[in-house]
Amino acid sequence: MSIAPTLSVPVREPYDRETWTRLLLTSSLHPHARLVGLTLAHLAGDAGYLPPGGPQHGEQLARITGLFGKNLRMSLSQLTQGGWLSRPPIETWHALEVRPVTLTMPEDVTPASAAERTEPAHPGGAVA
């Protein structure tokens, strides 16, 4: 009897909406990509998943964000290339519904880098 070797699978941080949005807001992504990302995070379920045919359809995202055509496509592409979301490849997606979206933590960003924002103490008084 032989035992198959165990493959090492990289472990990604589980989706946490608060951490994900905090990291997104402090990222260097274009503001349009951040807007689309925040919209998707708002629409996604607790696990960061939007099922096939869900509100991530281009027309619905355009209506919600006010971004259309190239700006919307570029924003989704930036989020995908940056590791903020994953979708099945369009070449292999044969269903009629829009592809599902899973929000993911980019590999080069860690939750530790999402430290709580701190502000210096306000000196008080009116600003002249």
Residue 40 tokens read as: 């998707």
Residue 100 is classified by DSSP as: P
Give the per-residue pLDDT at 120: 56
Contact 52, 76 (CB under 8 A): no
Number of H helices, E strands in the chain: 4, 3
Task: Round to whole Å and give the CA distance between 80 and 102.
Answer: 10
Q: What is the mean pLDDT of the chain?
A: 82
* pLDDT tens, N- to C-terminus, the chain (128 residues): 555 444 443 445 568 999 999 999 999 999 999 999 999 999 998 899 999 988 888 899 999 999 999 999 999 999 999 999 999 998 888 888 889 999 999 888 766 554 555 555 556 665 55
Which residues are CB-contacts of 73 (< 8 A; sequence separation ≥ 6)?
58
Q: pTM for the full model?
A: 0.75
Which domains are assigned to the chain?
Answer: 17-107 (1.10.10.10)
Instruction: Render pLDDT for 48-72 as a digit per residue (tens, 0 to 9).
Output: 999 998 888 889 999 999 999 999 9
Cβ atoms < 10 Å from Cβ of 100 = 17
3-state secondary structure of 26: coil
Task: Round to whole Å and give the CA distance between 31 and 95.
Answer: 31
